[in-house]
Structure 1
Amino acid sequence: MSAGSADEVVTRPKMINVFQPTLGEEEVAVVREVFQSSWVGKGRRVAEFESDFAAHLGVSREHVTSTNSCTEATFLAMELLGVGPGDEVVLPTVTFVGTANAVAAYGARPVFCDVDPRTLNPTVRDVEVALTPATKAVLLLHYGGYPGEVAQIAQLCRDRGVKLIEDAANAQASRVDGRACGVIGDIGVWSFDHAKIAVAVDGGVLYARDPELTARAVRLAYFGMEQATGYAEAMRGTSRWWDFEVSSFSRRSIMNDVLAAVGSVQLRKLADFVARRRVIADRYDAVLGDVPGLLLPPPLPPGHESSYYLYWVQMDPAIRDQVARDLYERGVYTTYRYPLLHKVRAYGADNRLPNAERVAQTTLCLPLHQGLTDADVDLITTALAESVAARAAAHAPA
């Protein structure tokens, strides 16, 4: 049989994804309800989603507003804090590209700091050495859902008169001593895109400690429009409800009722999702803990709660990429998040960050989502242990 012929069948194992949402009939039903309501734009469902998430965070509704993405919420955070030319924003080099883009887009300079070699979160010392008189804000990621030293970093920022923005995209359910990650600093942003734990298919949320900043974010997210009156007042004949003023030349960054309806259903399931992810992470710990040459995520400090967004292992850099290929051939997709931003030429950074540069060569993120079955987890752990052992033996000195 010739290669590429119509009769040729190539079989590969079904791929186990790193990320995967859990969506079902309840989400389909609420989308149908929104469609049948004849209103799919920003409306009642968005308001409900914002209230639901504020309650989840343990804050008043006036501190929270939704956006069309976490990245857009980060851009709004820059504008709310007046970040601009001549300013610096400190952020870990191990973070998502959208955060650095938000800094650079407003003419400020992203200053990348190093991270702890095991947690992949910046320590308070990593942040402190990156601060300068030009620092306007610190933009902190909670890697994999681990809170990290956010409380200490928040205190450092207060002492230095610097604002703290928490990128809580990995940390929908993470807490420190009962306080939700994202509300420990001055501004927090979250993602609800397709790859997160609770999803709205897409969308984001912004929290601001100062409710006046939240109110301003609401206006910025819709063309900078200042509505002259509410609909009810207009119908009483006091004004025309279509009149408005513009307070800033802004853009359209709002959520809609379709996404928000899905998001509210998913929020109700978030605790169960995280509980399942914790069971999987505990299983990884138990099975992989004795594999020679493999480092696992460190234990959480007392008072810290993780969202278990990522589970990462670390190994000899000489075998990491080969192990990833071995797992892929057995139907297990892995990845490394996040590529180092201080290595991206566009940001103009030239510093060396040795811990981050090391972990970028040793770290591999395993599948972790509530849709994994026990059989999936067994396959992943077996394939990983076998690959590490085989590759390590092949690289052992003769």
Structure 2
Amino acid sequence: MLPFNKPYMSGRELDLIKEAYAQGHLSGDGMFTKRCHSWLESHTGSAKSLLTHSCTAALEIAALLLDLRPGDEVIMPSFTFVSTANAFVLRGAVPVFVDIRADTLNIDERLLEAAIGPRTKAICVVHYAGVACEMDEIMTIARRHGLPVVEDAAQGVMSSYKGRPLGAIGQLGAFSFHETKNVISGEGGALLINDARYIERAEIIREKGTDRSRFFRGQVDKYTWIDVGSSYLPGEVVAAFLFAQLEEAESITQQRLKIWDTYHCWAERLEVDDRLRRPVVPAECQHNAHMYYLLLPSLAHREHFIASLKSQEVGAVFHYVPLHSTPQGRRSGRVSGQMDVTDSCSERLVRLPMWIGIEPHMDRVLAACETALEHAEAASRMHWSSAT
């Protein structure tokens, strides 16, 4: 079975883990954590980066920094992972779900102002598939209403918008280094702080609500509990693995882009024949080839397509169940406007296998996709005939 995802090792991970052990420091904020911080700040231009044990943790710190109170509202897309909403719901805030654009599947910036109300405290955008949201317009709207912007850039490492790295445009940004991402550490994440006013408190929240970071810098003679917080640090084994990946981030991105381009070229004639739709990447966006997806004509097409690929031992998956349609989403959030694009795309989207090392198998994958598409279309025709 060709899996949907296969974690990639660049080559130095185990050596750096041994080096971390030799340093005699395996808890958080050691030498490799600092190296990762420096890399992230250098490559994104962020004022401060902080490694976390997940992107979820980074978003939770962001929610704490925004001082959200029960009943406050945060605008976000419904087409996203649960962590985007959970971080704010844990603070008692209400996610306000807005529909996505039909091209990039990112939050539709044209719908934001209609969703803003007296309880709105922030906008949280999600850069789907590593393709940037329309950040200039979003930041303009946010400034007009005095709202901070949080970028859920879980899929956006090494992507940019008009030359600006994702995660470093809004006041706060969050990365993921989960094993399904491009640059990985198994589990892991980072908070990017782009507004210096948040830096000191972010360090405190991340260190269980203490000023321990200031103590280690010699700024205070002892540390103590001074704010709310939790244990959000990853250990040095995770940081060492991650640093080996960051060192090769450009190479990893280029290899993935070649795979992405292979899919995109193959699907072009199928899109011309109106059999599917390919991803859209606006000219101002440099993406990182995080995923390759197809939009098929219907939910039935997708179900038959995935089943056919499985029978040919090729892994493919659908993606998010829209949060506004989930039990917890209905309890915790509310919808602003219609969700037609979200509902339609979530039913029709299929993600194809995407991992470094799949290159020798691409002919097999593409042939399987051709067969699967034919099976899906034939099944749809049979269903239509029987229905009429």
Contact 2:2 2:314 in 1 (8 A): yes
Question: Is the alpha carbon distance of 1:46 and 1:23 closer, same or farther for their aligned partners in structure 2, counting shifts above 3 Å?
Answer: same
- The 1:266/1:24 distance shift into structure 2, 3 A limit, reads closer
Are residues 1:322 and 2:322 paired?
Answer: no
Alpha-carbon offset, residue 228 of structure 1: 9.5
Q: Residue 156 of structure 2 corresponds to which residue in structure 1?
A: 171
Q: How does 1:120-139 map to 2 (within 5 A)?
A: 120-139=105-124
8 A Cα contact 1:145 1:306, kept in partner:
yes
Superposed displacement of residue 309, structure 1: 0.8
Aligned match of 2:32:
45
Give me the whole-angstrom Cα distance separating, in 1, the residues matched to 2:218 and 2:71: 45
Which of 236, 240, 250 aligns to 2:229? It is 250
After TM superposition, list the pairs within 5 Å mapping 1:55-204 onto structure 2. 55-60=42-47, 63-204=48-189
Alignment partner for residue 200 of structure 2, among 204, 211, 215?
A: 215
Q: Distance in 2 between matches of 1:148 and 1:84?
A: 27
Cα separation, partners in 2 of 1:91 and 1:228, compared to 1, 3 Å: closer
Structure 2: gaps spanning 5 or more residues: none
Shift of 1:107: 0.6
Q: 1:345 aligns with which of 321, 327, 337?
A: 327
Summarize deviations over 1:150-198 as a string: whole Å, max 9, x none. Answer: 2211111111111110001100011112111111111001011211111
CA shift for structure 1 position 303: 2.6
Alpha-carbon shift at residue 390 of structure 1 (Å) = 2.7
Once the two structures are superposed, residues 2-52 of structure 1 have per-residue CA deviations (whole angstroms, 9 ceiling, x without a partner) of xxxxxxxxxxxx2332x3221154111111111222211121211111111
Point out 4+ residue stretches in structure 1 off by more than 6 angstroms: none
Range moving further from structure 2, 182-191 or 221-230: 221-230
Q: 1:350/1:48 Cα in 2 relative to 1: closer, same or farther (>3 Å)? A: closer
- Contact 1:333–1:366 under 8 Å retained in 2: yes
**For the residues of structure 2 that align with 1:369 and 1:212, how far apart are their CA atoms?**
39
Amino acid at match of 1:304: C
Measure the CA separation in 1 of the matches of 2:64 and 2:214. 26
> What is the RMSD computed on CA atoms of the aligned residues?
1.9
TM-score for both structures, normalised by structure 2: 0.91
Alpha-carbon separation, structure 2, partners of 1:197 and 1:84? 35
Within 1, Cα distance between the matches of 2:35 and 2:139?
30
Q: Tell me, in whole angstroms, the C-alpha distance in 1 between the residues paired with 2:246 and 2:13.
A: 11
CA positional deviation for 1:202: 1.9
Aligned length: 374
The structure having more radius of gyration, on CA atoms, is 1
Q: Mark the CA change 1:134 to 1:16 in structure 2 (over 3 Å): closer, same or farther.
A: same
**What is the identity, as a one-letter code, of the residue corresponding to 1:308?**
A
Report the Cα offset of residue 125 of structure 1: 1.1
Q: Is contact 2:211–2:225 with CA below 8 Å preserved after alignment?
A: yes
Q: Which moved more, 1:100-109 or 1:285-294?
A: 285-294
Q: CA deviation at 1:222?
A: 1.2
Task: Check conservation: 1:296, 1:313, Cα contact below 8 A.
Answer: yes
Distance of 1:173 and 1:233 partners within structure 2: 34
Q: CA deviation at 1:324?
A: 0.5
Q: TM-score, normalised by structure 1?
A: 0.89
**SS at structure 2 position matched to 1:393:** helix
Q: 1:342 to 1:258 in 2, by over 3 A?
A: same
Given that 2:77 and 2:106 are in contact with CA atoms closer than 8 Å, whether structure 1 keeps it comes out as yes
The equivalent of 1:265 in structure 2 is 244
